[in-house]
Amino acid sequence: MLRRIIFLFLVFFFGCGYHFVGKGRLPGEIGSIAIAPFENQTDEPHLGKIMEEALRAELIRRRGVKVVEEGSAEAILKGKITSLHFASLAYDEEGRAREYRASISLDLQLIRREGEEVLWEIRRLIGREEFRVRGDIALDEGRKEEALREIARDLAR
């Protein structure tokens, strides 16, 4: 299922007439980009930062893109996290949830800084990841955060 989501993301991302070829420039001959703070419409306070970090790392790693401050960027990547849901998948014999699926939905937009031309836009991009819990609050919170980070990395790819 996750592979299908990634495939759909790539189809939408690269199917809009713009594409990256190996390392190099972004759509519209953009050579540098800033990642604006994500608008986070969820109750998970650090989710915006997690998404920003994953996108920054992926842009640098795979695209050789210069990620710079907003004032010196040719384009700005804006993101809005519209939802975060947790669904129980498995229960123990006492009825306690032991496995969850986290789902994140977000919108992305790449805007030329001068003139504010929208270079590309993706709406309702969805990522999912499953994780197990054991009943230890600290460990389970760590597993949840790692699942959110994995979703962010997958969506950034």
Average model confidence (pLDDT) across the chain: 85
- Structural domain of 142: 2-156
Contact 99, 131 (CB under 8 A): yes
Count of domains for the chain: 1
* pLDDT of amino acid 20: 38
Highest mean pLDDT among 24-38, 58-72, 100-114: 100-114
**Dihedral class, residue 2 (left if φ above 0, else alpha if ψ from -120 to 50, else beta):** alpha
Between CA 155 and CA 44, with CA 82 as vertex, the angle to 5 degrees is: 85
Residue 68's CATH number: 3.30.160.150
* pLDDT of residue 7 exceeding 90: no
Q: Which pLDDT band, with edges at 50, 70 and 90, does 40 fall under? A: very high
* pLDDT of amino acid 1: 54
* pLDDT of residue 45 exceeding 80: yes
* pLDDT of amino acid 65: 79
Contact 132, 99 (CB under 8 A): yes
Residue range 114-150, pLDDT digits in tens: 888 999 999 999 999 999 999 899 999 999 999 999 9
The Cα 56–Cα 15 span in angstroms is: 22
* pLDDT of amino acid 91: 95
